[in-house]
């Protein structure tokens, strides 16, 4: 709170301007004396609040995250870590007020941040919000955002609210993501032959690994030849062209082209991307997923060497940006997701994009026990679902398809 300075003397000009009554422009000393205890009391309250928060979140001087706070081990955090989750993950108006402390979103004189605090309370709060998203489908998360409206401008208050359910949240994640950690951390093998619904409902689940690879290569060859926009195609089978997505080496140029085509706007209006900030999906094309990008580019080099060693012409695989566009499109394609999760019985829902990206890169055993990346199986299922060549006895989940094949709520 700003305390006006005491003016001991008034100038002659002041006397003239106030009809000779300079006292009307002055602050009385007695008033200042009364206000001083309130100022000290406010400072003491801020200090006590800082101490409480530091006790609750003791490692903010280090690179801590909300999963550490919940009690997860480092090997679990490695696979549950919230890559690409930042302030843009939050919907507009949630922890995004301007003119306040960036670390705690309080007025500067009431700031509860500590000196040399590397991890802000606001960043822990948006990670906590992402954790809550992990546990809710689209409709449940939308309702949750409405329920926490009193905290939209108060990340510190939200963290206190979140902390009350700390044990419960930890248990829910362990329960809901046990299958995910088994696949990504312990590398338990997914076999398509273990999925009864998959074998009965999709020809893809009866294909060899080589056949799945060929379908994948063919899909990319067709997209490249027609210059089809990758993200839009995997989102809802739309075959509009986007030449920049194929020719630009700079991801920034690709993002600008998609913006001009209205792809991000449609994505937000048609899918759960509307539950994040307007910049969230665009910024995934930045440096958020470097670890995954390195792995993918290494696999491209290995593929090229293998094909050359066999004396064949290497199949042209997409570079990182269209590959990421594919996975983002598939993630927000609600119809495809429901279909895949129905057919492949060893997986369940994941509600965060970084977890989807990690999951897509695990290996699965095809019908002939050869290994292929899960993303190749995904593309084969997407291709089958986008055609009229679906096996007899259509599964009920296909009823969610409408005539325009758009992804909707």
Residues 135 and 243 in one domain: no
Give pLDDT tens digits for 231-258: 999 999 999 999 988 888 789 999 999 9
Cβ contact 358:184 at 8 Å: yes
Report residue 63's pLDDT band, with 50, 70 and 90 as the boundaries.
low
Residue 185 lies in a domain: no
Residue 269 lies in a domain: yes
User: Does residue 54 carry a pLDDT above 90?
Assistant: no
* Higher pLDDT, residue 223 or 291: 223
Q: What is the mean pLDDT of residues 92-110?
A: 90
**How distant is the alpha carbon of residue 73 from its chain centre?**
21
DSSP letter for 286, please: S
Residue-level pLDDT at 129:
97
Q: What is the mean pLDDT of residues 30-51?
A: 56
Give pLDDT tens digits for 306-344: 666 555 555 678 889 999 999 999 999 999 999 999 999
The rounded distance, in Å, linking the Cα atoms of 12 and 22 is 8
Residues 253 and 365 in one domain: yes
Pairing relationship of beta strands 363-365 and 190-191 according to DSSP bridges = parallel
Residue 129 lies in a domain: yes
Residues 195 and 139 in one domain: no
Report residue 366's pLDDT band, with 50, 70 and 90 as the boundaries.
very high
Cβ contact 282:264 at 8 Å: yes
Give the DSSP per-residue string, 345-408.
TT-----SHHHHHHHHTSEEE-TTS-EEEHHHHHHHHHHHHTSS-PPSS--GGGGG--TT----
Residues 236 and 96 in one domain: no
Residues 32 and 71 in one domain: no
Residue 408 lies in a domain: no
Report residue 351's pLDDT band, with 50, 70 and 90 as the boundaries.
very high
Give the residue among 132, 166, 134, 171 at the shortest CA–CA distance from 151: 132
Residues 33 and 67 in one domain: no
CA angle 123, 145, 406 (to 5 degrees): 105
Q: Does residue 284 sit in helix, strand or coil?
A: coil
Residues 256 and 375 in one domain: yes
Residues 348 and 208 in one domain: yes
Q: Does the global pTM surpass 0.85?
A: no
Q: Which of 116, 144, 176 is the last residue of a domain?
A: 176
Residue 122 lies in a domain: yes
User: Does residue 347 carry a pLDDT above 80?
Assistant: yes
User: Does residue 8 carry a pLDDT above 80?
Assistant: no
Give pLDDT tens digits for 128-178: 999 999 999 999 999 999 999 999 999 999 999 999 999 999 999 999 999
Residue-level pLDDT at 22:
38
The rounded distance, in Å, linking the Cα atoms of 218 and 315 is 9
Residue 182 lies in a domain: no
Q: What is the mean pLDDT of residues 398-409?
A: 35
Residue 183 lies in a domain: no
Report the chain's mean pLDDT, rounded to a whole number. Answer: 82
Give the DSSP per-residue string, 215-268.
HHHHHHHHHHHHTB-HHHHHHH----B-THHHH-SSHHHHHHHHHHTTHHHHHH
Look at 14-28, 195-209, 368-382 and tell me which has the smallest mean pLDDT.
14-28
Cβ contact 104:112 at 8 Å: yes
Residues 324 and 340 in one domain: yes
> Residue 313 belongs to what domain range?
190-400
Greatest distance between any 2 Cα atoms in the chain: 102
Residues 167 and 196 in one domain: no
Give pLDDT tens digits for 266-315: 999 999 999 999 999 999 998 788 888 888 888 776 666 666 655 555 56
Residue-level pLDDT at 310:
52
Crossing angle of helices 29-56 and 155-164, in 10° steps, is: 40
Q: Which of 30, 56, 82 is the last residue of a domain?
A: 56
Q: What is the mean pLDDT of residues 344-358?
A: 95
Give the list of residues 6+ apart from residue 323 with CB closer than 8 angstroms, or none.
296, 317
Residues 360 and 212 in one domain: yes
User: Does residue 405 carry a pLDDT above 60?
Assistant: no
Residues 395 and 272 in one domain: yes
Residue-level pLDDT at 39:
47
Residue 184 lies in a domain: no
Cβ neighbours, 10 Å, residue 301: 9
**How many structural domains does the chain have?**
3
Report residue 363's pLDDT band, with 50, 70 and 90 as the boundaries.
very high
* Higher pLDDT, residue 124 or 392: 124
């Amino acid at each position: 709170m700003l305390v006006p300075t005491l003016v001991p003397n008034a100038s002659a000009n002041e006397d003239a301007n106030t009809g000779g009554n300079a006292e009307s422009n002055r602050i009385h000393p007695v008033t200042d004396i009364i206000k001083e205890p309130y100022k000290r009391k406010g400072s003491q309250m801020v200090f006590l609040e800082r101490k409480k928060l530091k006790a609750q979140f003791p490692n903010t001087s280090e690179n801590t995250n909300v999963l550490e706070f919940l009690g997860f081990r480092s090997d679990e955090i490695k696979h549950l870590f919230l890559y690409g989750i930042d302030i843009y993950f939050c919907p507009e108006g949630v922890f995004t007020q301007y003119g306040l402390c960036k670390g705690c979103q309080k007025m500067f004189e009431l700031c509860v941040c500590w000196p040399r605090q590397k991890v802000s309370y606001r960043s822990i709060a948006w990670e906590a919000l992402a954790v809550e998203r992990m546990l809710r489908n689209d409709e449940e998360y939308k309702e949750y955002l409405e329920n926490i409206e009193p905290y939209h401008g108060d990340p510190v208050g939200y963290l206190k609210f979140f902390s009350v359910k700390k044990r419960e949240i930890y248990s829910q994640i362990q329960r809901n993501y046990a299958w995910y950690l088994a696949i990504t951390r312990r590398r338990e093998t997914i076999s398509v032959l273990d999925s009864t619904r998959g074998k009965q409902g999709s020809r893809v689940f009866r294909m060899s690994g080589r056949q799945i690879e060929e379908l994948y290569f063919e899909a990319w060859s067709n997209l490249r030849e027609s210059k089809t926009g990758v993200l839009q195609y995997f989102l809802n089978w739309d075959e509009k062209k986007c030449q920049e997505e194929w020719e630009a080496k700079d991801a920034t140029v690709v993002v600008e082209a998609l913006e001009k085509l209205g792809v991000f706007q449609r994505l937000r209006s048609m899918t759960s991307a509307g539950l994040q900030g307007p910049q969230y999906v665009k910024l995934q094309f930045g440096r958020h997923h470097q670890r995954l990008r390195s792995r993918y580019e290494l696999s491209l080099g290995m593929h090229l060497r293998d094909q050359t060693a066999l004396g064949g012409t290497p199949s042209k695989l997409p570079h990182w940006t269209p590959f990421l566009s594919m996975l983002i499109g598939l993630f927000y394609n609600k119809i495809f997701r429901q279909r895949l999760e129905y057919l492949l019985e060893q997986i369940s829902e994941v509600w965060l994009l970084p977890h989807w990206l990690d999951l897509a890169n695990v290996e699965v055993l095809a019908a002939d026990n050869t290994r292929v990346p899960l993303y190749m199986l995904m593309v084969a299922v997407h291709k089958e679902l986008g055609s009229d060549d679906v096996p007899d006895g259509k599964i009920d989940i296909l009823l969610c398809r409408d005539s325009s094949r758009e992804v909707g709520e």
